[in-house]
Structure 1
């Protein structure tokens, strides 16, 4: 599909968000040394960002839902840029921790609003591909931005890495200002109407699918460094290139996921990709000691995991009519819950002494759980469709109970014939 400037503005936003989310994983040692803390304590900065995403995603969308999308996106990116500037200049661990929570607040809301905007800008039948353009920013971040930010942090100062994030935020603000068309507000102004989304059973099935299923990605990706250096035998200096390989897989997988969702439906695409992730994680476990097959599976796993982005967003948007922006932002919050769960559960078998390839079994189990949630969602939708159709099929033979009562009352009121 032709790349519109408006979608390019959303891509820039995804790029900045992707860098600030993932670059922290490669800078923990430098931050710990600079602030005189240990690495596990520095690791709390990753969790702090995820907490900000989970809190801010639904909250900011509900608050800003009545405003036009362009205004919301500019406001969210302005907050994102300011809070990342706080991160770059934070003088202490406490202030840095707070800045990471604040920086995470606009993350899910931006992707939620941006997903709806991208689908409205797309031609009919190309909605998921348009959303994948926005998520391409995340993949480019993992391909170029995160390795570059990690290199700068290693060789110069970690604060410069977040200065780059601020620069990308400013570029995004300008792109949104000049390239994003004015669109009328479509989100329901009533908070009560928006929150009805959480009463839907199918919405919670999608949340479960994302939070559990995408945990499979983070069970693997959180421990990719020791897997490659201690099991596959690569040097630590080669990790930058290995991460770029994973990012390249994410880039192509993201585009493939958008096309697949438009081709077969978001729900079917999601379950297919989750099953593919299960298979890929199991294969990675068994080939981890072989360098070349491990590199091949790194590319495949990156592609499979990020191919889920566009189908999941479309699934949420299609399910939550009237609360599309809230639903799409909730999917981002769920993704970060998967981030936390995958990293935590994936670390348990390592702590128990099963080795650095053991998280792949945890990831496969989580991806399989996500596939079961996706299957439950499909069956639930089919059941609702069948129940909606069946009453019409019997109208000719048996009128509804309310109609029968009305006919009886009407007959009773008719005057008796005069003999």
Structure 2
């Protein structure tokens, strides 16, 4: 009984990583509820304040790969501690910023760590559990991000209304300090060693036979050249493509979901906020359920978003069905995330640059999906068209994943 309890217990290092993900996610989402106050306080236009959001997204895309490459030779725990410290400094700058340029600088500094934290953190998380639970471990780490998605906007609006927008950034700074202390104290110093995937591409670096590394978890490639060699694997590229398409399908639909609610489903504008919270709860559930499911069948998990979005398009004129389906959309949309991260790091032999590239791929997919969804609306196809466009993109992700799985089986024979 005691042994079973120990087996089920979540490693404390995973909890610390989830807290870091929560703080980083909170920063990303709370700004939407604070933009009017930030614009007024810094004496800038709404458009200028909105550039905080676009600046954050650009910094994430650039920072993910740049920081992963720059820290390739450093122990992963040290890198995580440094990334969270960077996050704390960025939010502290935003909290005390005397003007808009300093505020923007702090925001960009905080954003730089996001992609690398989730990329490298996923490698550390999976190393803390048994191999058959690696996707579940990644899901636990991402639980902080998904919970932040639910709480971010209302948290920012509530704290900003009561104590001002700076108080929200002070609160996030405090969460960052707690996460920093937790990771430093609870994550093992040698965390992050990842075993190779079954059927891994022959181009990947492998430990020499008879060495300690061959008998245990191999040391992940270090140095920029070794990290880049991981991208010689077709499996890495196919997984990155599937990730981009999976995110693109869901984000293409989500970007215009408010119009679907108000123009098709018959909801009032005031209802959109709680409907988005329903979606956010779905993300939390999908992340945890998907981590377990992805350890079994990633192709099946990737097939569910396309089915959900197509069904949503057919039933969008029903308010009751829309509530149910936006929740299911959240569940299926995030269910693939843990599995895809573990897959790309499997075939990249634990290269941190590949894990961070997965984050960048998701951002590319987001941009692609939003663009194609907007084209469909502009073409006069209606406010359900982004749902069908998203279903098509998500279906292509499933096709790529099926091809990748077949190629992997051929290499393993």
**Displacement of 1:69 after TM fit?**
2.2
Distance change in 2, residues 1:233/1:168 (3 Å): farther
Distance change in 2, residues 1:190/1:91 (3 Å): same
Distance change in 2, residues 1:184/1:139 (3 Å): closer
More displaced 10-residue stretch of structure 1: 332-341 or 21-30: 21-30
Give the corresponding residue for 1:14.
21
The answer as to whether partners of 2:128 and 2:191 remain within 8 angstroms in 1 is no
Alignment counterpart, residue 349 of structure 1, candidates 365, 376, 396: 376
Alignment counterpart, residue 296 of structure 1, candidates 320, 324, 327: 324
The answer as to whether partners of 1:214 and 1:370 remain within 8 angstroms in 2 is no
Give the corresponding residue for 2:339.
311
Q: Mind listing any 5+ residue stretches in structure 2 that lack a counterpart? A: 1-7, 193-218
**Displacement of 1:354 after TM fit?**
3.6
Distance 1:159 1:291 in 2: 38
Alignment counterpart, residue 206 of structure 1, candidates 239, 249, 257: 239
**Displacement of 1:28 after TM fit?**
4.5
Alignment counterpart, residue 57 of structure 1, candidates 54, 57, 64: 64
Give the corresponding residue for 1:378.
405
Mapping 1:90-129, distance limit 5 Å: 90=97, 92-129=99-136
Give the corresponding residue for 2:273.
240
Give the corresponding residue for 2:78.
71
**Displacement of 1:371 after TM fit?**
1.6
In the alignment, structure 1 residue 215 sits paired with structure 2 residue 248 = yes
In the alignment, structure 1 residue 278 sits paired with structure 2 residue 311 = no
Q: Deviations over 1:143-195 (max 9, x none)?
A: 22333224444666444433332222112112112222222674433321111
Distance change in 2, residues 1:359/1:38 (3 Å): farther
Q: CA RMSD in A?
A: 2.4
Q: Deviations over 1:67-103 (max 9, x none)?
A: 2222111100010121123334445555544444332
Q: Deviations over 1:106-159 (max 9, x none)?
A: 111111221111111102311111111001111111222333224444666444
Distance 1:183 1:253 in 2: 30
Distance 1:356 1:367 in 2: 18
Distance change in 2, residues 1:339/1:244 (3 Å): same
Distance change in 2, residues 1:299/1:321 (3 Å): same
**Displacement of 1:203 after TM fit?**
1.2
Distance change in 2, residues 1:226/1:25 (3 Å): farther
Alignment counterpart, residue 172 of structure 2, candidates 161, 165, 175: 165
Give the corresponding residue for 2:259.
226
Q: Deviations over 1:24-54 (max 9, x none)?
A: 3444455455556665554443332222122
Task: Give the TM-score of the pair, scaled to structure 2.
Answer: 0.84
Distance 1:96 1:221 in 2: 29
The answer as to whether partners of 2:90 and 2:105 remain within 8 angstroms in 1 is no
Distance 2:73 2:399 in 1: 36
Distance change in 2, residues 1:369/1:26 (3 Å): farther
More displaced 10-residue stretch of structure 1: 217-226 or 30-39: 30-39
Q: Secondary structure at the match of 2:131?
A: coil
More displaced 10-residue stretch of structure 1: 75-84 or 44-53: 44-53
More displaced 10-residue stretch of structure 1: 8-17 or 167-176: 167-176
Distance change in 2, residues 1:97/1:232 (3 Å): farther
Alignment counterpart, residue 388 of structure 2, candidates 336, 344, 361: 361
Distance 2:103 2:380 in 1: 33
**Displacement of 1:301 after TM fit?**
0.5
Distance 2:32 2:380 in 1: 23
Question: Which protein is bigger by CA-based radius of gyration?
Answer: 1
**Displacement of 1:273 after TM fit?**
2.4
Distance change in 2, residues 1:209/1:283 (3 Å): same
Distance 1:136 1:215 in 2: 21
Q: Mind listing any 5+ residue stretches in structure 1 that lack a counterpart? A: 387-419
Distance 2:264 2:42 in 1: 31
Distance 1:340 1:69 in 2: 30
Q: Deviations over 1:340-392 (max 9, x none)?
A: 22233322333444443322122112212222221221232233334xxxxxx
Q: Secondary structure at the match of 1:52?
A: helix
Distance change in 2, residues 1:319/1:51 (3 Å): same
